[in-house]
Structure 1
Amino acid sequence: MSNLTEILNGDTPVLIDFFAEWCGPCKMMTPVLKDLKDDLGDGVIILKIDVDKNNAIAAKYQIKGVPTFMIFKQGKMLWRQSGMLQKQDLIELINKFK
């Protein structure tokens, strides 16, 4: 978890995808996030956190449903939303926080 804290405290926006293997919408977000990373490159860090394997982290951030996305920068949560999102919406959000 200390590595997670270090990453979240950085100057680069961090998009966290809280997901579960059994979640259909989560699986549909995987190519969207890959395209997002291809488009933004080093401008964003994308972390995928499996809620079933990381119960403590999911509990800390009060994840009730998946997928849930959060954007962090310099240790602060700047945005949070549950449900599927379009790549363009994510790009606009991340660019807002650069």
Structure 2
Amino acid sequence: MIPEKYIYASLKNIISGMFGSIRGLVLLCIYEDILYIYRANIDNSYGEQLAKIPIPYMKNIQGKAGLFGGKFSFNYDGKEYKFKLPAKAEKFVDFFVK
């Protein structure tokens, strides 16, 4: 799989559920109509897949990108996901918020 768009992000909240609780750096990847969330490793690689979310089923999508970073959030399957984005995340945010 070669993602169409991807970005490293940090979680602003704890995601819990079938993956246990996670917090920290993640990799957000878009491939076709799926958002994949992977655990990001310190060596710039990615680890285990934490979530596979169909983009058409994401609700309340909000995003903002700026010079000093941004934010991205949505609801899916009764859970709220919030991420802090690095600077220059405009292309990723624009994919969702048009």
Which of the two has greater helix per residue?
Answer: 1
TM-score, structure 1 as length reference: 0.26
TM-score, structure 2 as length reference: 0.26
Which of the two has greater strand per residue?
Answer: 2
Asked which structure has the greater RCO (Cα within 8 Å, sep 6+), the reply is 1
